[in-house]
Amino acid sequence: MEAIRLALAQINPIAGDLKGNSDLIITYAERASAQGADLVVFPELALSGYHPRDLIASKGFLTSCLAHLKKIYESVPGIPMLVGLPLMESSVTNSAALCFGGAQAGSFGKSHMPGRGLQEEAKYFDPAGELQLMRTGGALIGVNIREDLWYIGGPAEQQCRAGASLIINMSAWPFVSGRTGFAERLVMSFAARCATPVAFVNMAGASDELVFEGGSLVMGADGRLIARARPFVEDLLIVDVPLRETPESINAEPAESADSAESTESIETHFIELPAFTQERQKAALAVRESPEEPLSPEQALYSALATAIVDFTEKGNYKGAMLVLGGGIAPALNAAITVDALGSASVSALVPPGKGEDTARRGAELLGIKCIEITLDMKSPRARGYALMEAADAEGMVALSSITKSDLATGGVTLYGESAGHFAPLKDLWGTDVLLLSKWRNSMGEVIPASVIEPYDKDSPEDEALRILIEEDMGFDEAMQAAGIGPAGLEELFKRIQAAEQLRRQAPPGPRVTPKALGAEWTLPLAGRFRP
Amino acid sequence: MEAIRLALAQINPIAGDLKGNSDLIITYAERASAQGADLVVFPELALSGYHPRDLIASKGFLTSCLAHLKKIYESVPGIPMLVGLPLMESSVTNSAALCFGGAQAGSFGKSHMPGRGLQEEAKYFDPAGELQLMRTGGALIGVNIREDLWYIGGPAEQQCRAGASLIINMSAWPFVSGRTGFAERLVMSFAARCATPVAFVNMAGASDELVFEGGSLVMGADGRLIARARPFVEDLLIVDVPLRETPESINAEPAESADSAESTESIETHFIELPAFTQERQKAALAVRESPEEPLSPEQALYSALATAIVDFTEKGNYKGAMLVLGGGIAPALNAAITVDALGSASVSALVPPGKGEDTARRGAELLGIKCIEITLDMKSPRARGYALMEAADAEGMVALSSITKSDLATGGVTLYGESAGHFAPLKDLWGTDVLLLSKWRNSMGEVIPASVIEPYDKDSPEDEALRILIEEDMGFDEAMQAAGIGPAGLEELFKRIQAAEQLRRQAPPGPRVTPKALGAEWTLPLAGRFRP
């Protein structure tokens, strides 16, 4: 067996929606089968969505997962499938079930669990203890899940040492701004280091705070890219992947060869036997893509990630559209532009408060082609706008979008339940400087934000940079003060404001995480705390 | 050396307040020294408070911790001290620093880190790898931190096997309703199993969502209670503790004896040498307590925990007092009663909305002796009350208290930013049935809640019980339906409402956690999720 026809099913499941997700999986499996694929692979936790959080602690939910898995493999018996799901056996693991011929043939569990913040998996899953490979028609395939590929000497590398002809990595890899291509470089370096081809099957779409960047890909044993799927959206990538030749000795005496590998000493290696892949099955012509999808520029990637987050929060949450408050500021203007690009102008409405900024807001709404709604409340507090937004959005079944930014959240420049009011806050993890950058980038393709809105913000912001250093960089205070160009008094003043804004951060709406330290979700202070540097 | 005079310094630090906490530690150390104590012991993370969250990820903060530790041991050189703090050495550990004679003599790190929810420590701390004991004047003392005592064969047990004459456990043990005395039973069973005396030094007070129940204690080698400190509040408990005799062989050849212990095979054991305890120091007469503090009844403990949470959130957060909306319902009435018991009637104000329930609210305010403030907004939505509360509280520097309960949060019976508006929600982790129970208990000591308020709620609530089973019990759905007395349609309807309320739970104010599954903080669903059982 020299090559295998792989189908990388880059789907966008809904967290917890076992019925919808299993239907989606069946559809993709059938499409893959129709194109003659030998094996169709879904992302990490594809059946449950990533991730179902405390549903995983419910036996009822786990039992439902198994029932839906059964429905899937009974519906599409003709093609081997790897389906990610929370698997309840002797323990609960983040696993890939291997199914074929109307039955489950085995499973591959994840060993390295992220224990932090939004991807908290260690709370829910036990690590898998065994090293598993599947053997079919003379080929050994190592299947593993996300982090298990990234560690030197980790499970994926052990599978290579045990003779794998191909590594399949199933992921729900969250987008981080400025790190586009990071997953690809990790896969490339792995493939080159282990001289083994790798198929990386990623999730698409967004789930609450996490955005999955798609871009599933196949890398050859020489570390060269063979194919890449579309970014952020669903895709079915079908590729004929040349296999690394498995040494005869390994195939003949698997146990011995596993023992001889350095790092597998203490780990039992098991082999799941599968009939040889469908030599008899007639191969449909493979719709070869001319070239891999091009990677996005950093601005395009960040903008797309935010748009993806808005689309999926709105659609998965069954909202009819989106509503936001539009004034004279740059953040609401950018928020409106992204939302219109995401949902279309017919699905977006702007609340325009009377007074300063009203004309600019109307001009912005006109550029975007969205409806304006006047606010007529006679309250003075910023909470009046929040109040009006929530009442109007609830009345029409729309998602209320807040335009707060990371800069607002860091220092409490806005009022709790005022500017922060909303069901979702798309710009929550963006510093003011990124808001400016994206606004200019979007306007470079045609004016959607009035130039007069951008102009006053178009300058350096030393405070933003100081905040970024204090919150995102891991420095001692002396080093941080030097980098930020502030003295001890400035440092103390900033920390005082950061501390005072913790209440705002705790109660702010959720929003897409695009940095490794999202305020509120992954970076928190004590509320009744009093640290002064 | 047959006995040691231990000072258990059950303090209530403020998270992040290194200056204030080190002053507090110095004060307690001086008091202990004045009473002739051989060793003063502080709780887990006493210097930083429990816990400083992402400050621990800041090198600047960790450096500050070391500087404040130095200030402490230089200020009180005359008495050996064990101080809990985040310790930055080759890694960052949750540690106890042993200080004496104006220097740090060594440290004991924690090995078992809770990785979940509000006590998330695995995110911040590395586990300690070594087994350490301190040796002084012929006595071996095993020092460990919270979880390290609870595991069979864990670090504390290994210290006993290595010959410890005394085990000291430093904790920040959070209160859980109905589990009062749980820590005590764990200590008792450990002492009896290992035939070693144990001193359990716990934190007092509250920090955001966590309430620490105090009740530090000393248990003899026979598993009998020698002394117990006060619940919830600060205390200094000074006790002469008889030591277990350390076998000669162990003391003479520590290395060998450690090797011979079963479970310590792979763990290196180190000994921190300290001069023999102050035989020459003149012992002050020990103010022996007549008898250990009596444990509280379950209702008294829960009520005290909530009052402690309110006091500390208000005082540590520098609020001038508390404000809440009082209507005709039982939850606001109980909330007001606890708040008055916590802060005194002069520090509490009630907003009374016009209309139904107004008279009852005024009667309740009168019983509690608190001021009523009329609301004159002409808005109809529940958000109007939330708006009025936040504006009024902010204007006066008061903490706004929401009266939402766990039942409200489970099914979304209230409006986001409406009834849920506030800086703190004291009843957030209480089912309606617990609200009723506490109201009746408090009224049994004198009417503070009008009987007419309690009366309509004084009945069984099958829905509450069904919600509790679904959320707090780990059952399959068949079992849960049977226990809750509902069918598949009822189950689906409840899940639909639970799912829809996730947005409310995510943005609800913080409140004291009193069950193992606090909604929002430790039990979450996907927001844009769609699970149906």
Closest-CA distance, B171 to chain A, in angstroms, reads 19
Q: Which of A64, A317, A528 sits opposite B208 (nearest CB)?
A: A528
Residue A444, burial from CB neighbour count under 10 angstroms (0-12, 13-18, 19+): exposed
State the Cα–Cα distance between residues A342 and A350, nearest whole angstrom.
15
pLDDT in tens, B488-497: 999 999 999 9
Mean pLDDT computed over B19-45: 96
Give the chain A residue whose CA is nearest to the CA of B319.
A528
pLDDT over 60 (residue A331): yes
pLDDT over 90 (residue B267): no
CB-CB under 8 Å, A390 with B51: no
Q: pLDDT value at position A142?
A: 96
Can you state the percent helix, strand and coil of chain B, rounding each to 5? 40, 20, 40
pLDDT over 70 (residue A313): yes
pLDDT in tens, B434-478: 999 999 999 999 999 999 999 999 999 899 999 999 999 888 899
Three-state SS at B230: coil
Mean pLDDT computed over B429-435: 96
Residue B90, burial from CB neighbour count under 10 angstroms (0-12, 13-18, 19+): exposed
Beta strands across the sheet bearing A399-401: A371-374, A348-352, A322-325, A399-401
CB-CB under 8 Å, B61 with A526: no
H/E run at residue B99: strand B92-100
Residue with tokens 């420049």: A413
A with B: how many residue pairs have Cβ under 8 Å apart? 189
Q: What is the dihedral of CA A32, A37, A43, A44, to 10 degrees?
A: 130
Q: Which of A54, A208, A507 sits opposite B523 (nearest CB)?
A: A54
In CATH, what class is A3-274?
alpha beta
H/E run at residue A334: helix A330-343
Give the chain B residue whose CA is nearest to the CA of A500.
B317
Interface with A, mutate which of B47, B55, B531, B532 (most A CBs under 10 A): B531
Instruction: Say whether the peptide bond before residue B51 is cis (omega within 30 degrees of 0).
Output: yes
CB-CB under 8 Å, A499 with B390: no
Give the chain A residue whose CA is nearest to the CA of B20.
A530
State the Cα–Cα distance between residues B383 and B405, nearest whole angstrom.
17
* Bridge partners (DSSP) listed for residue A280: none
Contacts of A317 in chain B (CB under 8 A): 527-528
pLDDT in tens, B171-188: 999 999 988 888 999 999
pLDDT over 80 (residue A354): yes
Closest C-alpha to B121, from B97, B94, B142: B94
Pick the CATH number of B298-507 from 3.40.190.10, 3.90.76.10, 3.40.50.620, 3.90.1150.10: 3.40.50.620
Mean pLDDT computed over A171-178: 94
Three-state SS at A431: coil
Contacts of B390 in chain A (CB under 8 A): 383, 416-417
Q: pLDDT value at position A287?
A: 53
State the Cα–Cα distance between residues B448 and B365, nearest whole angstrom.
9
Please spell the DSSP secondary structure of B12-75, one letter per residue: ---TT-HHHHHHHHHHHHHHHHHTT-SEEE--TTTTT-S--GGGGG-HHHHHHHHHHHHHHHHH
Contacts of B310 in chain A (CB under 8 A): none
Residue B159 has φ and ψ, to the nearest 5°, of: -65, -40
pLDDT in tens, A414-471: 999 999 999 999 999 999 999 999 999 999 999 999 999 999 999 998 999 999 999 9
Interface with B, mutate which of A417, A467, A525 (most B CBs under 10 A): A417
Name the CA radius of gyration of chain A, rounded. 25
Closest-CA distance, B427 to chain A, in angstroms, reads 17
Closest-CA distance, A471 to chain B, in angstroms, reads 8
Closest C-alpha to B281, from B1, B33, B32: B33
Helix (DSSP H) and strand (DSSP E) numbers for chain A:
17, 19
Contacts of A507 in chain B (CB under 8 A): 507-509
Mean pLDDT computed over A273-301: 68
Do A414 and A310 meet the contact criterion of CB atoms below 8 Å apart? no
Contacts of A52 in chain B (CB under 8 A): 525-526, 529, 531
CB-CB under 8 Å, A390 with B528: no
Contacts of B517 in chain A (CB under 8 A): 54
Do A144 and A159 meet the contact criterion of CB atoms below 8 Å apart? yes
Confidence of residue A269 (pLDDT cuts 50, 70, 90): confident
Q: pLDDT value at position A76?
A: 96
Instruction: Show me where the domains of chain B are located.
Output: 3-274, 298-507
Do A20 and B530 meet the contact criterion of CB atoms below 8 Å apart? yes
Amino acid letter, A133: L
Percentage of the residues of chain B whose pLDDT score is greater than 70: 91
Interface with B, mutate which of A14, A58, A402 (most B CBs under 10 A): A58
pLDDT over 70 (residue A157): yes
CB-CB under 8 Å, A475 with B529: no
CB-CB under 8 Å, B386 with A531: no
State the Cα–Cα distance between residues B276 and B221, nearest whole angstrom.
22
Interface with B, mutate which of A118, A383, A513 (most B CBs under 10 A): A383
Contacts of B381 in chain A (CB under 8 A): 387, 391
In sequence order, which residues have a C-beta less than 8 Å from that of residue B294 and are 6 or more positions away?
A: none
Closest-CA distance, A406 to chain B, in angstroms, reads 16
Q: pLDDT value at position A246?
A: 61
